[in-house]
Structure 1
Amino acid sequence: MLRLSRGAKIGLGAIVAVVLIFMYTPLALVVMNSFNAARIASWPIKNVSLEWWGVAFTSQPIRDALWNSVVVASGATLIAMLLGTLVAFALQRYSFFGKETVNLLVILPIALPGIVTGVALSNTYNSILEPMGIHLGYFGMIVAHATFCIVMVFNNVLARLRRMSPNLQEASMDLGAGLWQTFRLVTFPQFRTAFIAGALLAFALSFDEVVVTIFTAPPGVDTLPLWIMNQMGRPNQASVVNVVATVVILASLIPVWLSQRLSRAEEGR
């Protein structure tokens, strides 16, 4: 086991502290300015108020954008849970020609720049599907988000499946359990936490996605990140934007935190 000197530990600790401060100070300023009584974001904050929170929660466009974000993220997560799990099982349990290629193609969307994915999907929707009479509309935005959300579920489930022994499933089948019964009582409980953790990460990833959404959202449909982007050029909306941005931070933080807790609990067991 590598042992560090006291000086090395202090130096590494200082570097980590500086990096964390650099990363999270801007986020902290956004959260604090959401309680700023002033109409324009400023520092230091002279007066604290919940006025802008009230404005945000009574604004119909913001509530519509929040609802759209939740619906799109939920739909993308459901698709990712189904397809990500199925692909993970196929790649783990079976050997076939092109297996590594399939693995690469599943992971590729998360590595591609969002603007590339957005342009590709927009061209597909507008140049190929719509001339054929297929108008995906709102569902097209969900499909677009699902393309990169699948990776979250796929990676988590595949990593867990690789650590599972097939002996329990074989024993269950030998004792007379059917395929579905074995999956429900033996297989699924073994990768359940990884499955849920992947779904939470997929939801968080979809909820704050903006680039792909720009290219695939139907006209007049905003998600919270899109609403924030559209309002950034309006100085009088800065305080309300800080409130919405705080909501997005919390909506992204909570699933990631829960995912980490589930992963640690799984490792502990």
Structure 2
Amino acid sequence: MLRLSRPSKIVLGIVVAIILAFLYIPLMLVVLNSFNSARIASWPVSGFSLEWWGKAFTSQPVRDALLNSLLVATGATVIALILGTLVSFALQRYRFFGQRAVNLLVVLPIALPGIVTGVALNNTYNQLLEPIGIQVGFWGMIIAHGTFCIVMVFNNVLARLRRMNPSLEEASKDLGATPWQTFRMVTFPQFRSALIAGAILAFALSFDEVYVTIFTAPPGVDTLPLWIMNQMARPNEANVVNVVATVVILLSFIPVWVSQRLSRDVSERD
């Protein structure tokens, strides 16, 4: 086991503290300004008020943007669950020509810059599909988000499948279970936590996506990140934006915490 000297521990602690401060102090400023009584976000906070919270929760554009984000993230997560699980099983359980190429193609969308993916899909929708009469509309945005969310489910499920003991499934078949019974009672419980963790991460990734959404959102449709970005150009709305951002920050802790708990539970069972 690696042991650090006392000076090394002190230096490492200082570096970690600086990094955490750099990451979280700006977030704290957002939270504090959401309670700022001034019309324009400022520091130090001139006074505390719940006025902006009331305006944010009664704002119809905020509600519409939130609903759109939830619908898109849910749809993208469903796509990711289905396709990510099927691809992970295909790559783990079977051997076929082009297997490595398929693996690369599935992972590639998360590695590409979002703006590249957005431009590519925008060109596909506008220059290829629309001329032949196919209007993708809102579904096009959901499919666009699904392209990079698949990786979240794929990586989690594939990693779990590689650690599973195949003898359990063989024993189930030897005892007379049908393929569906074996999957439902033996296989699925073993990778269920990885599937849920992947779904949570996929939902979170889709919920705060900006670049792909800019290029694929139908006219007049805003998701919550797009609404925030558009309102930043209006100083009088800055504190309402801070309220929405504060809610997003708080909600973001939930999928991260759940995902870590699920991953830890899997590690403890292994």
Name the TM tier (shorter chain): over 0.9
Task: Name the residue aligned to 1:37.
Answer: 37
- Deviation track 1:130-174 (CA, whole Å, cap 9, x = no partner) reads 111111100000000000000000000101111001110111111
Task: Count residues in correspondence.
Answer: 269
Question: Which residue number in structure 2 is paired with residue 184 of structure 1?
Answer: 184
**SS at the partner of 1:188?**
helix
For residues 69-116 of structure 1, give each alpha carbon's deviation from its aligned partner in whole angstroms, at most 9, with x where no partner exists: 000000000110110011001111111111111111100000100000
SS in 1 for 2:67: helix
Aligned counterpart, 2:128: 128
Unaligned runs of 5+ in 2: none
Counterpart of 2:140 in structure 1 is 140
Residues 1-269 of structure 1: matches in 2 within 5 Å?
Answer: 1-269=1-269
Greater shift after overlay, 75-84 or 37-46? Answer: 37-46
One-letter identity of the residue aligned with 1:133? G
Q: Is 1:118–1:215's contact at 8 Å kept on the other side of the alignment?
A: yes
- Offset of residue 37 of structure 1: 1.2
Q: Secondary structure at the match of 1:96?
A: coil
Consecutive unaligned residues of structure 1, counting only runs of 5 or more, are none
Q: Which amino acid aligns with 2:104?
A: L
Deviation of 1:10 (Å) = 1.5
**How far is the alpha carbon of 1:250 from its aligned partner?**
2.4
Q: Which amino acid aligns with 1:139?
A: W
Instruction: List per-residue Cα deviations over 1:203-242 (Å, max 9, x = no partner).
Output: 0000000110000000000000000111111000000010
1:261 deviates by 1.2
RMSD of the TM alignment (CA)?
Answer: 0.8
Give 1:32 shift.
1.3
Give, in whole Å, the separation in 1 of the partners of 2:129 and 2:185. Answer: 42
Q: Distance in 1 between matches of 2:242 and 2:68?
A: 19
AA partner of residue 2 (structure 1): L
Where has structure 1 moved over 6 Å in runs of 4 or more? none
Task: Summarize deviations over 1:46-91 as a string: whole Å, max 9, x none.
Answer: 3111111110110001000000000000000011011001100111
**Percent of pairs with identical residues:** 77
What is the distance in 1 between the residues matched to 2:115 and 2:247?
Answer: 25
Q: Which amino acid aligns with 1:105?
A: L
The letter for the 1-side match of 2:16 is V
State the shift of 1:33 in Å.
0.8
Residues 208, 252 of structure 1: 8 Å contact kept: no
Amino acid at match of 1:91: L
Q: Secondary structure at the match of 2:32?
A: helix
Tell me the amino acid that sits aligned with residue 181 of structure 2. Answer: Q
TM-score normalised per structure 2: 0.98
- Kept in 2, the 8 Å contact 1:156–1:194? The answer is yes
Q: Is the 8 A contact 1:149 1:205 kept in 2?
A: yes
Equivalents in 2 of 1:164, 1:194: separation in Å?
12
TM-fit CA distance, 1:4 = 1.2
